[in-house]
Amino acid sequence: MEKDNLIKYVTYLADNNLILGHRLSEWCGHGPVLEQDIALANIALDLIGQSRMYYQYAAELTGGDTTEDTLAYLRVEREYLNILLAERPNGDFGVTMARQFIYDSYHFYFLQELVKSTDTRLSQIAEKSIKEVAYHKRYSSEWLIRLGDGTEESHRRMQAGIDELWKYADEPLIPATWETPLIQQGIAPNPATIKHQIDSFRSSSMHAATLSFPKDVVAQSGGKNGMHTEYLGHLLTELQYVQRAYPGLEW
């Protein structure tokens, strides 16, 4: 039981990064300018690289025939535990930056705590990831400010991105039933300890960007229990296509 919780938790962390990384990779070849096309692909690769470290750990914990590849490519939609934010479509560049800002502002402070995890493997993965994520946070918050405090149109689009996605912002801070025991054991960070830092970073960035927090938001959750939006299934058909069409293919 205890091990099941840990496997779910590690898989959840992997899924967040894989799904968001895949979404970002959809920009490849479609970025607004060459420089941003490469920047988004870099972040996508960082996140997918981080997801591999978690999947490898989850596969070791699971044992048997499970590998990082079977976890990434051969599960069905309901078995993915990622937060809903990660699977949301790219929209325009403003929506993508809103999604990234919301994720990075959580991800960075989360990793700062995960470094202190009593699970040494998770602590090492966090240590390795945090420099990359520090850059992601800098990148997305600067774009938030640039576009929010830019032209009339860029402000409108940035605000629209925030308005569309804010309801998904705090899902990672709501513990799943399998997460609570891990928080008590000091394996998983306690959301209560990072919420303040996240909120204050988000507030100061939003203020600098002259953006406003949407009102009357009905928070959405469910991803941690495998309950997803209509977008994940479509994403997975593309992500899993090669392994489903040619099982076991290697190259």
Partner 1 sequence: MKKNVWPLYEVFIRSKNGLSHKHAGSIHAADADMAIENARDVYTRRQEGVSLWVVLSSEIIASNPEESDELFDPATDKIYRHPTFYDLPEELNHM
Contact 102, 152 (CB under 8 A): no
Q: Which residue has the tokens 């689009």?
A: 157
Dihedral pair phi/psi, residue 78, rounded to 5°? -70, -15
242 binding partner 1? (CB under 8 A): no
Residue 209's identity, in one-letter code, is A
Q: Considering beta carbons, is residue 77 or 142 the nearer one to partner 1?
A: 142
Q: How far is the CB of 135 from partner 1 (least distance, A)?
A: 8
226 torsion bin: left (phi>0), alpha (psi -120 to 50), beta (else): left
Q: Considering beta carbons, is residue 37 or 77 the nearer one to partner 1?
A: 37
Q: How far is the CB of 56 from partner 1 (least distance, A)?
A: 23
Total interface residues for partner 1 by CB under 8 A: 11
What are 3's two structure tokens? Answer: 């091990």
- Reduce the secondary structure of 160-186 to three states and give it as a string: HHHHHHHHHCCHHHCCCCCCHHHHHCC
64 torsion bin: left (phi>0), alpha (psi -120 to 50), beta (else): left
Residues 10-69 that bind partner 1 (CB under 8 A): 33-36, 38-39, 42
> What is the per-residue binding string for partner 1 in 128-157, x denoting contact by CB under 8 A?
----------xx--x---x-----------
Q: How far is the CB of 137 from partner 1 (least distance, A)?
A: 13
| Site residues for partner 1 per CB under 8 A | 33-36, 38-39, 42, 138-139, 142, 146
